[in-house]
Protein backbone atom coordinates (compact mmCIF):
# COMPACT_ATOMS: atom_id res chain seq x y z
CA UNK A 1 0.00 0.00 0.00
CA UNK A 2 1.23 3.51 -0.78
CA UNK A 3 1.14 6.57 1.48
CA UNK A 4 -0.19 9.42 -0.70
CA UNK A 5 -0.98 13.11 0.00
CA UNK A 6 -1.77 14.36 3.50
CA UNK A 7 -5.53 14.97 3.67
CA UNK A 8 -5.83 16.48 7.12
CA UNK A 9 -3.63 17.54 10.02
CA UNK A 10 -5.32 17.50 13.41
CA UNK A 11 -3.99 18.42 16.86
CA UNK A 12 -2.50 14.98 17.49
CA UNK A 13 -2.52 13.12 14.17
CA UNK A 14 -1.96 13.49 10.44
CA UNK A 15 -4.23 11.60 8.05
CA UNK A 16 -2.90 10.52 4.65
CA UNK A 17 -4.64 9.25 1.56
CA UNK A 18 -3.60 5.83 0.21
CA UNK A 19 -4.06 3.96 -3.04
CA UNK A 20 -6.73 1.86 -1.28
CA UNK A 21 -9.98 3.84 -1.14
CA UNK A 22 -11.15 1.89 1.92
CA UNK A 23 -8.41 3.00 4.30
CA UNK A 24 -6.41 5.95 5.64
CA UNK A 25 -2.79 6.05 6.76
CA UNK A 26 -2.54 7.71 10.19
CA UNK A 27 0.59 9.24 11.71
CA UNK A 28 0.59 10.12 15.42
CA UNK A 29 2.38 13.34 16.48
CA UNK A 30 3.99 14.49 19.73
CA UNK A 31 2.08 17.82 19.73
CA UNK A 32 -0.10 18.33 22.78
CA UNK A 33 -2.92 20.84 23.20
CA UNK A 34 -5.37 21.50 26.02
CA UNK A 35 -8.23 23.83 26.89
CA UNK A 36 -9.49 23.93 23.29
CA UNK A 37 -6.04 24.67 21.87
CA UNK A 38 -5.11 27.51 24.25
CA UNK A 39 -2.29 25.53 25.89
CA UNK A 40 0.23 24.05 23.47
CA UNK A 41 3.32 21.90 23.96
CA UNK A 42 5.15 18.72 23.09
CA UNK A 43 5.15 15.44 24.94
CA UNK A 44 8.26 13.57 23.80
CA UNK A 45 7.35 10.28 22.04
CA UNK A 46 3.66 10.65 22.90
CA UNK A 47 2.91 9.80 19.26
CA UNK A 48 4.61 6.44 19.70
CA UNK A 49 2.75 5.57 22.90
CA UNK A 50 -0.64 6.73 21.62
CA UNK A 51 -0.23 4.91 18.30
CA UNK A 52 0.79 1.64 19.94
CA UNK A 53 -1.73 1.92 22.75
CA UNK A 54 -4.62 2.68 20.39
CA UNK A 55 -3.65 -0.29 18.22
CA UNK A 56 -3.50 -2.52 21.29
CA UNK A 57 -6.82 -1.35 22.78
CA UNK A 58 -8.69 -1.45 19.45
CA UNK A 59 -7.39 -4.99 18.82
CA UNK A 60 -8.60 -6.04 22.27
CA UNK A 61 -12.03 -4.46 21.69
CA UNK A 62 -12.29 -6.02 18.22
CA UNK A 63 -11.47 -9.47 19.61
CA UNK A 64 -14.32 -8.93 22.05
CA UNK A 65 -16.94 -8.05 19.44
CA UNK A 66 -16.66 -4.25 19.11
CA UNK A 67 -16.42 -3.00 15.50
CA UNK A 68 -13.55 -0.50 15.25
CA UNK A 69 -11.73 1.27 12.43
CA UNK A 70 -8.35 -0.28 13.31
CA UNK A 71 -6.72 -2.38 10.59
CA UNK A 72 -2.97 -2.68 11.13
CA UNK A 73 -0.05 -1.21 13.06
CA UNK A 74 2.65 -0.17 10.57
CA UNK A 75 5.42 1.39 12.63
CA UNK A 76 6.04 3.21 15.90
CA UNK A 77 3.97 6.19 14.78
CA UNK A 78 1.83 4.85 11.93
CA UNK A 79 -1.25 2.71 11.57
CA UNK A 80 -3.84 1.90 8.91
CA UNK A 81 -7.50 2.49 9.71
CA UNK A 82 -10.73 2.04 7.77
CA UNK A 83 -12.14 5.19 6.20
CA UNK A 84 -15.14 6.21 8.25
CA UNK A 85 -17.64 8.91 7.50
CA UNK A 86 -17.30 10.59 10.90
CA UNK A 87 -20.33 11.38 13.07
CA UNK A 88 -19.73 14.92 14.45
CA UNK A 89 -20.45 13.80 18.03
CA UNK A 90 -18.15 12.68 20.81
CA UNK A 91 -19.35 10.45 23.61
CA UNK A 92 -17.64 10.97 26.96
CA UNK A 93 -18.00 7.99 29.30
CA UNK A 94 -17.49 8.61 33.02
CA UNK A 95 -17.06 6.20 35.93
CA UNK A 96 -15.57 8.60 38.47
CA UNK A 97 -16.19 12.33 38.82
CA UNK A 98 -13.34 14.44 37.40
CA UNK A 99 -12.71 17.30 34.99
CA UNK A 100 -15.72 19.16 33.68
CA UNK A 101 -18.19 16.97 35.61
CA UNK A 102 -17.06 18.39 38.97
CA UNK A 103 -18.92 21.66 38.40
CA UNK A 104 -22.03 19.98 36.96
CA UNK A 105 -22.82 17.65 39.85
CA UNK A 106 -21.17 19.41 42.78
CA UNK A 107 -19.11 16.39 43.84
CA UNK A 108 -15.37 16.40 44.39
CA UNK A 109 -12.92 14.83 41.98
CA UNK A 110 -12.76 11.12 42.80
CA UNK A 111 -16.43 10.53 43.67
CA UNK A 112 -17.42 7.09 42.32
CA UNK A 113 -20.54 7.18 40.14
CA UNK A 114 -23.21 4.55 40.84
CA UNK A 115 -23.51 3.86 37.10
CA UNK A 116 -21.63 5.08 34.01
CA UNK A 117 -22.50 8.58 32.78
CA UNK A 118 -22.64 9.15 29.02
CA UNK A 119 -22.37 12.68 27.64
CA UNK A 120 -22.69 13.92 24.06
CA UNK A 121 -20.52 16.72 22.66
CA UNK A 122 -20.79 18.39 19.26
CA UNK A 123 -17.40 18.25 17.52
CA UNK A 124 -16.76 21.84 16.48
CA UNK A 125 -13.49 23.62 17.28
CA UNK A 126 -14.95 27.09 16.70
CA UNK A 127 -17.70 26.42 19.27
CA UNK A 128 -15.28 24.68 21.68
CA UNK A 129 -17.01 21.27 21.40
CA UNK A 130 -20.16 22.14 23.40
CA UNK A 131 -22.08 19.52 25.36
CA UNK A 132 -25.39 18.79 23.61
CA UNK A 133 -28.26 16.37 24.08
CA UNK A 134 -29.94 13.91 21.75
CA UNK A 135 -32.62 16.36 20.65
CA UNK A 136 -29.91 18.82 19.49
CA UNK A 137 -28.24 16.04 17.53
CA UNK A 138 -31.50 14.92 15.92
CA UNK A 139 -32.75 18.44 15.18
CA UNK A 140 -29.42 19.37 13.57
CA UNK A 141 -29.19 16.13 11.60
CA UNK A 142 -25.82 15.22 13.17
CA UNK A 143 -26.99 11.62 13.65
CA UNK A 144 -30.17 9.53 13.60
CA UNK A 145 -31.72 8.13 16.75
CA UNK A 146 -30.68 4.64 15.64
CA UNK A 147 -27.07 5.79 15.25
CA UNK A 148 -27.09 7.53 18.65
CA UNK A 149 -28.54 4.44 20.31
CA UNK A 150 -25.89 2.27 18.66
CA UNK A 151 -23.12 4.67 19.76
CA UNK A 152 -24.39 4.51 23.34
CA UNK A 153 -24.61 0.71 23.21
CA UNK A 154 -21.02 0.48 21.89
CA UNK A 155 -19.83 3.00 24.52
CA UNK A 156 -21.27 0.88 27.35
CA UNK A 157 -19.74 -2.32 25.93
CA UNK A 158 -16.38 -0.55 25.54
CA UNK A 159 -16.70 0.62 29.13
CA UNK A 160 -17.20 -2.94 30.45
CA UNK A 161 -14.24 -4.26 28.45
CA UNK A 162 -11.93 -1.34 29.19
CA UNK A 163 -12.76 -1.17 32.90
CA UNK A 164 -11.91 -4.85 33.23
CA UNK A 165 -8.48 -4.67 31.59
CA UNK A 166 -7.55 -1.33 33.11
CA UNK A 167 -8.37 -2.72 36.58
CA UNK A 168 -6.05 -5.68 35.88
CA UNK A 169 -3.31 -3.11 35.31
CA UNK A 170 -3.97 -1.64 38.77
CA UNK A 171 -5.53 1.48 37.26
CA UNK A 172 -8.91 3.21 37.61
CA UNK A 173 -10.61 4.15 34.33
CA UNK A 174 -11.98 7.52 35.37
CA UNK A 175 -13.40 8.83 32.09
CA UNK A 176 -12.66 8.95 28.37
CA UNK A 177 -13.86 10.22 25.02
CA UNK A 178 -14.99 8.08 22.08
CA UNK A 179 -15.64 9.01 18.46
CA UNK A 180 -17.63 7.11 15.88
CA UNK A 181 -18.10 6.92 12.14
CA UNK A 182 -20.08 5.05 9.54
CA UNK A 183 -19.22 2.51 6.87
CA UNK A 184 -22.17 1.69 4.63
CA UNK A 185 -24.46 2.98 7.35
CA UNK A 186 -22.89 0.80 10.06
CA UNK A 187 -21.66 2.55 13.23
CA UNK A 188 -18.01 1.85 14.11
CA UNK A 189 -15.65 3.08 16.80
CA UNK A 190 -12.93 5.41 15.46
CA UNK A 191 -10.26 7.90 16.53
CA UNK A 192 -7.92 6.81 19.36
CA UNK A 193 -7.81 5.39 22.87
CA UNK A 194 -4.80 6.78 24.72
CA UNK A 195 -3.71 8.81 27.75
CA UNK A 196 -4.67 11.87 25.65
CA UNK A 197 -8.31 10.80 25.57
CA UNK A 198 -8.72 8.88 28.84
CA UNK A 199 -8.18 9.70 32.52
CA UNK A 200 -6.23 6.92 34.23
CA UNK A 201 -5.46 6.95 37.97
CA UNK A 202 -3.19 4.53 39.79
CA UNK A 203 -5.49 2.42 42.00
CA UNK A 204 -3.20 2.53 45.04
CA UNK A 205 -1.74 6.02 44.99
CA UNK A 206 -4.35 7.92 42.92
CA UNK A 207 -1.49 9.26 40.81
CA UNK A 208 -2.66 10.67 37.47
CA UNK A 209 -1.28 8.73 34.50
CA UNK A 210 -2.74 10.77 31.65
CA UNK A 211 -2.97 14.15 29.92
CA UNK A 212 -4.02 15.90 33.14
CA UNK A 213 -0.27 15.91 33.94
CA UNK A 214 0.17 18.20 30.92
CA UNK A 215 -3.03 20.20 31.50
CA UNK A 216 -2.12 20.89 35.13
CA UNK A 217 1.70 21.07 34.78
CA UNK A 218 2.21 18.11 37.12
CA UNK A 219 5.54 17.00 35.58
CA UNK A 220 6.67 13.45 34.70
CA UNK A 221 4.32 13.46 31.71
CA UNK A 222 6.38 11.18 29.46
CA UNK A 223 6.93 8.76 32.34
CA UNK A 224 3.19 8.56 33.03
CA UNK A 225 2.33 7.83 29.37
CA UNK A 226 5.00 5.12 29.20
CA UNK A 227 3.90 3.61 32.52
CA UNK A 228 0.23 3.30 31.60
CA UNK A 229 1.13 1.75 28.23
CA UNK A 230 3.46 -0.84 29.78
CA UNK A 231 0.98 -1.75 32.50
CA UNK A 232 -1.89 -2.16 30.03
CA UNK A 233 0.30 -4.17 27.65
CA UNK A 234 1.23 -6.55 30.49
CA UNK A 235 -2.40 -6.83 31.60
CA UNK A 236 -3.52 -7.69 28.04
CA UNK A 237 -0.73 -10.23 27.57
CA UNK A 238 -1.72 -11.96 30.81
CA UNK A 239 -5.50 -11.70 30.22
O1 LIG B 1 -12.77 17.77 30.21
P2 LIG B 1 -13.69 16.64 30.56
O3 LIG B 1 -13.70 16.30 32.00
O4 LIG B 1 -15.09 16.87 30.02
O5 LIG B 1 -13.10 15.37 29.77
C6 LIG B 1 -13.66 14.09 29.94
C7 LIG B 1 -12.76 13.05 29.27
O8 LIG B 1 -12.82 13.16 27.85
C9 LIG B 1 -11.29 13.18 29.63
O10 LIG B 1 -10.74 11.88 29.74
C11 LIG B 1 -10.68 13.90 28.45
O12 LIG B 1 -9.33 13.54 28.26
C13 LIG B 1 -11.55 13.41 27.30
N14 LIG B 1 -11.73 14.40 26.24
C15 LIG B 1 -11.05 14.26 25.03
N16 LIG B 1 -11.24 15.16 24.02
C17 LIG B 1 -12.08 16.19 24.17
C18 LIG B 1 -12.78 16.37 25.39
C19 LIG B 1 -12.57 15.44 26.41
O20 LIG B 1 -10.29 13.31 24.86
N21 LIG B 1 -12.26 17.04 23.15
pLDDT tens-digit series, residues 182-210: 999 999 999 999 999 999 999 999 999 99
Mean pLDDT score, 16-20: 98
The preferred substitution site among 103, 175, 224, 228 for testing ligand 1, maximizing ligand atoms within 8 Å of CB, is 175
CATH number for the domain that contains residue 168: 3.30.470.20
Residue 212 in 3-state DSSP? helix
Structure ipTM: 0.98
Q: Is the pLDDT of residue 151 over 90?
A: yes
Is 172 in contact with 201 (CB distance < 8 Å)?
Answer: yes
16 Cα–ligand 1 center, Å: 25
Q: Which atom of ligand 1 is nearest to the CA of 211?
A: 12
Alpha-carbon gap, residue 60 to 237, rounded angstroms: 10
Residue 137: CB atoms within 10 A of its CB come to: 21
Shared domain for 26 and 139, answered yes or no, is no
Ligand 1 pocket by Cβ (under 6 Å): 92, 98-101, 129, 175-177, 197-199, 211
121 Cα–ligand 1 center, Å: 10
Mean pLDDT score, 111-128: 97
Mean pLDDT score, 121-128: 96
Confidence band of 28 (pLDDT split at 50, 70, 90): very high
Share of the chain above pLDDT 70, in %: 100
Mean pLDDT score, 211-218: 98
pLDDT confidence of residue 183: 98
Q: In what order do the strands lie in the sheet with 23-28?
A: 3-9, 13-18, 23-28, 78-82, 70-73
Which of 82, 114, 136 is the C-terminal boundary of a domain? Answer: 82
Shared domain for 96 and 71, answered yes or no, is no
Shared domain for 15 and 68, answered yes or no, is yes
Q: Domain of residue 103: give its range.
A: 85-237
Q: Is the pLDDT of residue 150 over 90?
A: yes
Q: Is the pLDDT of residue 85 over 90?
A: yes
Mean pLDDT score, 201-221: 98
Is 109 in contact with 97 (CB distance < 8 Å)?
Answer: yes
Indicate which residue's Cα is closest to atom 20 of ligand 1. Answer: 197
CATH number for the domain that contains residue 75: 3.30.200.20
Q: Is the pLDDT of residue 221 over 90?
A: yes
Which of 82, 113, 128 is the C-terminal boundary of a domain? Answer: 82
Residue 101: CB atoms within 10 A of its CB come to: 20
Shared domain for 100 and 187, answered yes or no, is yes
Shared domain for 106 and 132, answered yes or no, is yes
Confidence band of 239 (pLDDT split at 50, 70, 90): confident
Q: Is the pLDDT of residue 127 over 90?
A: yes
Confidence band of 218 (pLDDT split at 50, 70, 90): very high
Q: Is the pLDDT of residue 46 over 90?
A: yes
Shared domain for 113 and 222, answered yes or no, is yes
Amino acid sequence: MEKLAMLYEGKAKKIYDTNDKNVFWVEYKDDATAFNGIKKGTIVDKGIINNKMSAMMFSYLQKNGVDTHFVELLSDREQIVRRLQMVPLEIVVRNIVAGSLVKKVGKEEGYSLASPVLELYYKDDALGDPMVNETHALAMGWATIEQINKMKEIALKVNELMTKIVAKAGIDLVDYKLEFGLIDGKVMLGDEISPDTCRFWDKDTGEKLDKDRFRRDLGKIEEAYAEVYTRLKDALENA
